[in-house]
Structure 1
């Protein structure tokens, strides 16, 4: 077992918390309509989720940097339980107002939780292990979607209606357990790597200073370049979950597809880690190869989806797809569309892993990581809110598909440009490699300068910034 205060142990804690919180939410969402026959309420609720998520991703930066990660993350997990529990009320009353309000509350919690998660995943590992840590998180997190998909599939295998309340109650219990798990997180200052170095932490700000730092994010060259990536990174969920899986397949086949989708995410995260952390190539080369891979794979998947999409213009029980809704028992009709959904999940995992890897390459400072991840999740959630509202307004399906494809293609050039400007070490690790003769003023200047520049000499062992300041 890893040391409790080690980066790996803390990564496992936050991964399990997300496995039980967001993982269960993804399992419900992946069913199309959160398991409801009529997806309109869920689509509106998802719009509320992601609008609040967008706002609180930025608020979450200040909350995490000022209050820490333990208690905010635990409280955030409880908001997932509130949202899932609201479907019990909806099943009884058919009134979606509470579900939409609960979605907005969950979005607030999600903004805080994902900011805390990003700090652990991106800033705790050493440079050579960042791809591995992202892969570990994605593997455990999507195990939540996989197991969460098994439960409704097994319980409601013979059902053709909405999920029953027993499934939602079971999800609520699991999400509350995620809040308990989050209480085992420790402050970043307590984390010690195996080589004896600390997580990079510069002097924390108060709330007022932290708000000023958040506004400065919108002048950060690298984050602005990554705006297309951030906006597109969850935009396709509205189409994939609702317009494709939710509209085209029978309820039990949606559950089966859900299992395959999250299983493919787990497989994809392992495969991309082997490339992102490969010692064979320098960082820039690895990044460019990974982006090229996800670009080609995404285009292939969207092109295959066009073939299926041309066969129907409406979904559900009134679908005009030849032969009606697809059930997995009819293998001759189901094999192709289900395979496409499987590869949708894999390319999603590749895209998300690469996005976090790029952010992790910009900084290793825990406080800056919170800001960068919060910015990424905020813009990502804005895109998701638009996506789910498009699905709720039932924009022509083919238009939704083309829009998703175009957004992915547009995001690739700036991702490649940013990656080709990366150096082997992020700013903070470069600072830690400076000579002990470096003055404090030089250290401060380096911290305020660009996040990527030529790495310093490696002849000195890596140390925490606090240790470095103590010897100069």
Structure 2
């Protein structure tokens, strides 16, 4: 019986990266757009901080095992389950605004923490393992640009709807409806992503022979990850990578009115897109440099950007504190004072994209195995979320803004020397250390054992994988 044959372009790594980018564009992107409006579009900053603290705490706990769960369930089901929490959370924000149900918002935050860990583990494995080694920086750029384009579109929607509201500090009902419609499109798009055994790289190799892993293999695999000194050295970088979101959101809420918050979100989305494309294409994947040299260059660029941007932020922050922020009038985008603030929000997220790109690129340079990289991604998101939970908790008790800024900045700077030590261990290629399986060989093995025609094995399907797996066992 003939099997479904996927078009050649559909089984390429970059197509799959684009697809998972679309999924995150429509789900995480909409969540980011709401969050970037300042306190998630809520007037009650304390409630928003509490919900986010619970969210990231659950994210951190689930992230420790989400890579293994993603490997067992496969990318499609994992992505589908991961997207559902975003719809629930945005719905809970809407429900709170109309009904005042604060308990539901906190519960939705906890559920989202669990589902988001699943989504990001599957996403990380796809983005880091599917492309060829020479294209991993570009793969991040493409994914991050598409994903952040969701934040950008969401922010533009919010800006267009709220621009006439002037001093309104909460998000309108029509904004939430627009977000939810886009999110449900993202939920459905999760089923378009292919498992690693169906994806063929540009050199003719399969990403992985198996479509999924087994529970006992994940327990052993996670233990090996936790013993990897290179990953341990990256933990400070992981922890610091989202710590600053609480501070930036708090400043956005404290100093800008609603339309200007939406405009800041537009600038943040634009900065993230530009930063991702530049670091991936112009730094991390430069053709004429060796891989380790590209890593050093990327680290140097990210260090410079982090110092420059946050120094500018410090200059502004030194002019006010929490008490004074409550007394000062909100800044509107028409005010002359806003002209010096707008570039800061652009470059905050420009730098964020570069920082995230470097972290993902270093992890993806350590191995090409999708199951191992799913565990890496889970651990990355676990530590990242633990940091975010701590930062939102820090903001919830009204820690001085200056302390929040310094904590975020110093942790990023402290992570760079350890990242340098890990980059020193990167090999020019990992292909020689890992089993390479060519799609053509798998097709021939299926034809010889199953008696199928060439047209019937044109796609790399599960039946053929079972045949090849049996052949390897016999060998």
TM superposition score normalised by structure 1: 0.88
Deviation at 1:213, TM superposition (A): 2.5
Q: How does 1:46-125 map to 2 (within 5 A)?
A: 46-125=52-131
Q: Distance in 2 between matches of 1:333 and 1:393?
A: 29
2:352 counterpart (334, 338, 348) = 348
Deviations 1:288-313 (A, max 9, x none): 11111111111111111111111211
Q: Whose helix fraction is larger, Structure 1's or Structure 2's?
A: 2
Residue 377 of structure 2: aligned partner: 373
Residue 403 of structure 2: aligned partner: 399
3-state secondary structure, aligned to 2:83: helix
Deviations 1:72-124 (A, max 9, x none): 21122111000000112111232311101101101111000000001110000
Q: Distance in 1 between matches of 2:79 and 2:210?
A: 22
Greater RCO between the two (CA within 8 Å, min separation 6)? 2
Residue 143 of structure 2: aligned partner: 137
Q: Distance in 2 between matches of 1:2 and 1:338?
A: 44
Q: Distance in 2 between matches of 1:12 and 1:362?
A: 23
| Aligned partners of 1:202 and 1:365 also within 8 Å | no
Moved more, 172-181 or 207-216: 207-216
| Aligned partners of 2:74 and 2:212 also within 8 Å | no
| Aligned partners of 1:247 and 1:315 also within 8 Å | no
2:264 counterpart (252, 257, 262) = 257
Q: Distance in 1 between matches of 2:211 and 2:81?
A: 26
| Aligned partners of 1:364 and 1:429 also within 8 Å | no
Q: Distance in 2 between matches of 1:313 and 1:370?
A: 41
1:327 counterpart (311, 328, 332) = 332
| Aligned partners of 2:196 and 2:210 also within 8 Å | no
Residue 37 of structure 1: aligned partner: 43
Q: How does 1:121-200 map to 2 (within 5 A)?
A: 121-159=127-165, 160-161=167-168, 162-200=170-208
Q: How does 1:440-459 map to 2 (within 5 A)?
A: none
Deviation at 1:247, TM superposition (A): 1.4
Residue 412 of structure 2: aligned partner: 408
Q: Distance in 1 between matches of 2:283 and 2:208?
A: 26
Residue 234 of structure 2: aligned partner: 226
Identify unmatched segments of 5+ residues in structure 1. 435-464
Residue 306 of structure 1: aligned partner: 314
2:219 counterpart (211, 223, 227) = 211
TM superposition score normalised by structure 2: 0.87
| Aligned partners of 2:51 and 2:106 also within 8 Å | yes
Deviations 1:423-442 (A, max 9, x none): 1113x5543479xxxxxxxx
| Aligned partners of 1:81 and 1:173 also within 8 Å | no
Residue 452 of structure 1: aligned partner: none
Q: What number of residue pairs does the alignment pair up?
A: 436
Identify unmatched segments of 5+ residues in structure 2. 1-6, 438-467
2:19 counterpart (13, 16, 27) = 13
Deviation at 1:163, TM superposition (A): 0.7
Alignment RMSD (CA, Å): 2.2
Q: Given the superposition, is the C-alpha separation of residues 396 and 304 from structure 1 closer, same or farther in structure 2, using an over 3 Å criterion?
A: same
Residue 294 of structure 1: aligned partner: 302
| Aligned partners of 2:50 and 2:396 also within 8 Å | yes
Q: Given the superposition, is the C-alpha separation of residues 63 and 214 from structure 1 closer, same or farther in structure 2, using an over 3 Å criterion?
A: same
Deviation at 1:217, TM superposition (A): 2.4
Deviation at 1:170, TM superposition (A): 1.7
Deviations 1:400-451 (A, max 9, x none): 111111101100001111112211113x5543479xxxxxxxxxxxxxxxxx
Q: Given the superposition, is the C-alpha separation of residues 429 and 107 from structure 1 closer, same or farther in structure 2, using an over 3 Å criterion?
A: farther
| Aligned partners of 2:206 and 2:436 also within 8 Å | no
Q: Distance in 1 between matches of 2:215 and 2:473?
A: 27
Q: Given the superposition, is the C-alpha separation of residues 57 and 358 from structure 1 closer, same or farther in structure 2, using an over 3 Å criterion?
A: same
1:239 counterpart (247, 250, 266) = 247
| Aligned partners of 2:56 and 2:386 also within 8 Å | yes
